[in-house]
Chains A and B, each alone.
Chain A
Amino acid sequence: MPENKISVNGLDLYYSEFHALKNVNIDIAPNEITAFIGPSGCGKSTLLKSLNRMNDLVEGCRITGAVTLDGVDIYKDMEITYLRKNVGMVFQKPNPFPMSIYDNIAYGPRTHGIRRKSDLDDIVEESLKKASIWNEVSDRLKRSALGLSGGQQQRLCIARALAVKPEVILMDEPTSALDPISTMKIEELCCEIKDSYTIVIVTHNMQQATRISDKTAFFLHGEIVEFDETEKLFSTPSDKRTEDYITGRFG
């Protein structure tokens, strides 16, 4: 098995005429939390989305370069369903489906062919426990997921992503719509599950990156300016622009 879970080599991405990512190279190590930081519009979410090909849904999006998962090119040699099963995603705004909590979690496994009730029951319980929301919802699994609070909904979405047993979880500013307590819960959750998953998180919040991530990449104008151990990047950045950003001189 290669040392890196995901490797991005010379990735260029265009939205029609707009050059959104410029020659991006980054290696993401397994069982670590990697944070992407940078000002709005710098390309960090775009890169995150290209890791499980959610960019395919955007009209006029073109890509050159290579992204590999365990050494396999995800744009050339991998089925998109297989990719997305293995690289799950949690979105900025909690987006539970308008169905019961149970059905939300079971949707993914059912998509991948698991039909037996007892198997599904196990997966639902296990996923909700991993996302530390089981205690809050175990008595109302058949109730609609839309009745949960925002923070609970987001943890439900994490549980939903975990239910298909992915290896990588991409999180696109998962706490930006949540209150501090819910944010804390989700950060704790990330740290708890990182031993079994590879997590990539986009965040606007630099404190969040320092709190939970092992490595941090700083983006600016579609390029990765600096990528290093989180501690080093925030204490002794090697690039002037990184320093200006983390000390709050812009962004």
Chain B
Amino acid sequence: MTMTGFRFDMKTYKKHPLSFLFMLLVWIAAALTAAVFLAVVGYVLIKGIPQLKPSLFAWNYTTDNVSMMPAIITTVEMVAISLLIAGPLGIFCSVYLTEYAKRGNKIVKAVRLTAETLQGIPSIVYGLFGMLCFVTSLKWGYSLLAGCFTVSIMILPLIMRSTEEALKSVPDSYREGSYGLGAGKLRTVFRIVIPSAGNGILAGIILAIGRIIGETAALMYTAGTVAQLPENVFMSGRTLSIHMYQLSREGLHTDDAAATAVILLITVFALNGLAEYIAKKLDKNKL
């Protein structure tokens, strides 16, 4: 805002004191929001960056050197396996709901209701379910796999919801064009509809990744908290978030927890950046 513009505003605000008040409120709200965000990020960075040292990225975790490398690798594995389970399931389920199921179908209503309800449940409930189902009943024990299945169920509604929205936004004229050329339903859905909805589906998956990385409660009771790199999926392992939780809980390694927070923050930033980059790239292909 230029100075002259501001002066002009001041004049009008003198005439209408209420609008001035509102403007002030809006400004304060914006400033507070920005301040909170900056404070959190700033605090994490200031506290954490000096604590970063090469030894934190050593291959092995020992009680002397609480390396976060095993946790980083476990996190990546956790994300990959969970997406492998929930991605296809969620996407195909939404494809069925939007493309194949008849409108007003009872199963569709039931699935939608379930998905919406699941979305609002606190993650600790998933953790409890995962522990009773995968860890105890299926006798997998505290394991990477039990954790993966638990977070898969957790992110399923997220992926379904965003995929459904994306599929719905594909114009019907694309479908008509494809049918008009003699293509069947399967080809139309897989060659035209799903690629056109790619961006929206991707956005949902990125959100899901964020959710997995940030998850602690559901994983504590399913994947366990072993700090070493699990040798196979039936062994326990900890993700970065849990690693950080454990470090700060023990009270001995608060500095290392701060360093972990920095890495977590960077991961999240990088993921968002990646998502934006891919989205742009897909858009460029379209134009």
Q: Do A and B come from one complex?
A: yes
Q: Which residues of A contact B (CB under 8 A)?
A: 52, 54, 57, 59, 80-85, 88-89, 91, 93, 95-99, 107-108, 111-112, 144, 146-147, 157, 160-161, 164
Interface residues of B, dominant DSSP: helix
Report the separation of the CA atoms of residues A111 and B192 in the bound assembly, to the nearest whole angstrom: 12
Which 10 A-B pairs give the minimum distances between C-beta atoms?
A95-B173, A84-B182, A89-B180, A85-B182, A108-B181, A81-B182, A111-B183, A95-B177, A98-B286, A98-B196
Complex CA–CA separation, A79 to B196 (angstroms): 28
A213 to B208, CA, bound (A): 56
Segment 140-174 of B: residues with Cβ below 8 Å from A: 171, 173-174
Q: With a 10 A CB-CB cut-off, give which of A81, A83, A93 has the most chain B CB atoms.
A: A81
B3: Cβ under 8 A from any A Cβ: no
Q: Which residue of A lies closest to B282 (CB)?
A: A98
CB distance from B100 to the nearest CB of A (A): 13
Bound CA–CA A91/B192 (angstroms): 17
For B102, what are the chain A residues with a Cβ–Cβ distance below 8 Å?
59
Q: Is B287 in contact with chain A by the CB < 8 A criterion?
A: yes
Question: What is the CA–CA distance of A136 and B195 in the complex, to the nearest angstrom?
Answer: 27
Asked if A144 and B182 make an inter-chain contact with CB atoms under 8 angstroms apart, the answer reads no
What CA separation (Å) do A111 and B190 show in the bound complex? Answer: 12
- Complexed CA–CA distance, A80 and B285 (Å): 32
Whole-angstrom distance between the Cβ of A201 and the nearest chain B Cβ:
15
The distance in angstroms between the C-alpha atoms of A96 and B180, with both chains bound, is 12
Residues of A near B191 (CB, < 8 A) are 107
CB of A11 to closest CB in B, whole Å: 20
B176 within 8 A of A: yes
Extra pairs beyond A97-B178, A144-B286, A157-B177 (20, CB < 8 Å)? A57-B176, A57-B179, A84-B182, A85-B181, A85-B182, A88-B181, A91-B173, A95-B176, A97-B174, A98-B195, A107-B181, A108-B181, A108-B182, A111-B181, A111-B187, A144-B287, A146-B287, A160-B177, A161-B180, A161-B181
Q: Which residues of A contact B196 (CB under 8 A)?
A: 97-98
Cβ A97 vs Cβ B187 within 8 A: no
Name the distance in Å between A203's Cβ and chain B's nearest Cβ.
18
Distance (Å) between the CB of B186 and the closest chain A CB?
A: 11
Task: Confirm or deny: B14 has a beta carbon within 8 angstroms of a beta carbon on chain A.
Answer: no
Inside 8 A of B171's CB, which chain A residues have their CB?
95
Cβ contact of B182, chosen from A57, A59, A111, cutoff 8 A: A111
- Verify B181–A160 contact, CB threshold 8 A: yes
Residues in A whose Cβ lies below 8 Å from that of B50:
none
Task: Give the residue of A81, A95, A108 whose beta carbon is less than 8 angstroms from that of B184.
Answer: A81
Report Cα–Cα, A74/B30, bound state, in Å.
64
B136 to chain A, nearest CB (A): 47
- Closest CB of chain B to A157's CB: distance in Å? 7
Q: Which residues on B sit within 8 Å (CB–CB) of A146? A: 286-287
The residues of A that contact B182 with a CB separation of less than 8 Å are: 80-85, 108, 111-112, 164
Contact: A97 with B192, CB < 8 Å?
A: yes
Residues 20-36 of B contacting A (Cβ, < 8 Å): none
In the assembled complex, B106 has its CB within 8 A of some CB on chain A: no
- B185 CB → nearest A CB, Å: 10
Contacts of A83 in B (CB 8 A): 182
Docked complex Cα distance between A107 and B195 (Å): 14
Decide if B195 touches A99 in the complex (CB within 8 Å): yes
Q: Name B165-223 residues within 8 Å CB distance of A.
A: 171, 173-184, 187, 191-192, 195-196
Complex contacts, A111 vs chain B, CB 8 Å: 181-183, 187
A93 adjacent to B173 (CB under 8 Å): yes
Contact of A144 with B177 in the complex, beta carbons under 8 Å: no
9 contacts between A and B (CB under 8 A): A54-B180, A59-B102, A59-B103, A91-B177, A95-B177, A98-B196, A107-B178, A107-B183, A164-B181
